[in-house]
Amino acid sequence: MATARTVAITALLMLAGSLIAQVAPSAESDPSPSSSPATTLLVKGLEGALGSTVGPDGALYVTEGAAGRISRVDPQTGEITTFASGLPKALPAIGIGGPIDVSFIGKTAYVLVTLVSPDVGGGDVDGIYRVDGADSSTVVADIGDFNKNNPPTIPFPFFVPTGVLYAFQTFRGGFLVTDGHLNRVLRVTRDGKIAVLIAFDDIVPTGLAVLGKTVYMAEAGPVPHLPRDGKVVAFTVGQKPPTATEVASGAPLLVDVEFGPGHSLYALSQGPGVPGAPPGSPAQPNTGSLVKVNRNGTFTAITDGLDRPTSLEFIGTTAYVVTLTGEVWKIEGVSGGA
């Protein structure tokens, strides 16, 4: 779902609003995978799909920012049902925002909402919402207000004081949240306490995966999203100060990272940017890839030709990729190992 200088988190956001037309669902996209795993279209027609998670029932849950809802997707049949609605929608003038990621603690769902606050023309809260029912929710953490009162101390330009939240991950009864505009990871409790866990320069943090106290984080990198700037890094919660160490680099515009088969680490690359496109434009169509993180700090492509992917989940040896075009692709037979 870029550079902090332009709010262009993971090259999905253009405040000018020109991205809206590019987010429309496209049934014609074709990943054309180049490697052995079988890739099939599971779902199409989602509205502003960006984030996802695997729920306690084993189904996929996908955010639809344009519709202000969370949809449940059967991972076998692709059947879509509405899990939660009535959440703040993405503002038409921006096109990206509203519910941007979803996670569960036990059987309770929480939703990360962004770019709906008054400073960008909205009237809602940027932060974490608890889903209380099919059409009701409660704000449990006002991250936008925290960001306004606690701006970054690292000297890089920014112009949305509430930030641009991208992803969150449950951690020890609370959450870790990436902000791709203010370039930091926040630690948030369920009773609304917020603290900066680790801050960065203009690297655009995106997706998260957690193993014990170690956090793995994808970096989209600044414009022009060179492959060398697409990285997976790791840091330890509790280390003072926490320091990020590079795990792998070499894939352009990384937007997510997840553990897959055999406890191997995988990342999602949206692909190279469009030459001459304004900052904040998405990657070139059909250039995204699912990559495996190697022990020598490189990536190996598992499936390529994905059309502007945004989020990755694994169920067994099957990867599920959500795309900016409102689709979910199923990649079966992903192998683990070293």
Residue 35 in any domain: the answer is yes
Q: In what order do the strands lie in the sheet with 318-323?
A: 38-43, 328-332, 318-323, 309-315
Q: What is the pLDDT of residue 1?
A: 40
**Tokens representing 184?**
């930091």
Q: What is the pLDDT of residue 278?
A: 65
By the 8 A CB rule, do 138 and 86 touch?
no
Q: What is the pLDDT of residue 146?
A: 98
Closest C-alpha among 235, 263, 168, 181 to residue 8: 181
Our count of domains for the chain comes to 1
Residue 77 in any domain: the answer is yes
Residue 45 in any domain: the answer is yes
Tens digits of pLDDT across the chain (338 residues): 433 333 333 333 333 233 323 333 333 344 444 446 899 999 999 999 999 999 999 999 999 999 999 999 999 999 999 999 999 999 999 889 999 999 999 999 999 999 999 999 999 999 999 999 999 999 999 999 999 999 999 988 899 999 999 999 999 999 999 999 999 999 999 999 999 999 999 999 999 999 999 999 999 998 788 899 999 999 999 999 889 999 999 999 999 999 999 999 999 999 998 777 766 678 899 999 999 999 999 999 999 999 999 999 999 999 999 999 999 999 999 986 55
Enter the pTM of the model: 0.90
Residue 21 in any domain: the answer is yes
| Rounded distance between C-alpha atoms, residue 65 and residue 54, angstroms | 18
| Rounded distance between C-alpha atoms, residue 100 and residue 48, angstroms | 9
Q: What is the pLDDT of residue 281?
A: 72
Q: Tell me how far CA of residue 301 lies from CA of 20, 267, 334, in angstroms.
A: 29, 10, 11
Q: What is the pLDDT of residue 280?
A: 63
Residue 338 in any domain: the answer is no
User: Which positions ≥6 away from 247 have C-beta within 8 Å?
Assistant: 216, 231, 232, 233, 234, 265, 293, 297
Residue 337 in any domain: the answer is no
Residue 218 in any domain: the answer is yes
By the 8 A CB rule, do 270 and 282 touch?
yes
Q: Give the CATH number for residue 24.
A: 2.120.10.30
pLDDT tens-digit series, residues 66-114: 999 999 999 999 999 999 999 999 999 988 999 999 999 999 999 999 9
Domain that holds residue 254: 4-332
Residue 103 in any domain: the answer is yes
User: Which positions ≥6 away from 212 have C-beta within 8 Å?
Assistant: none
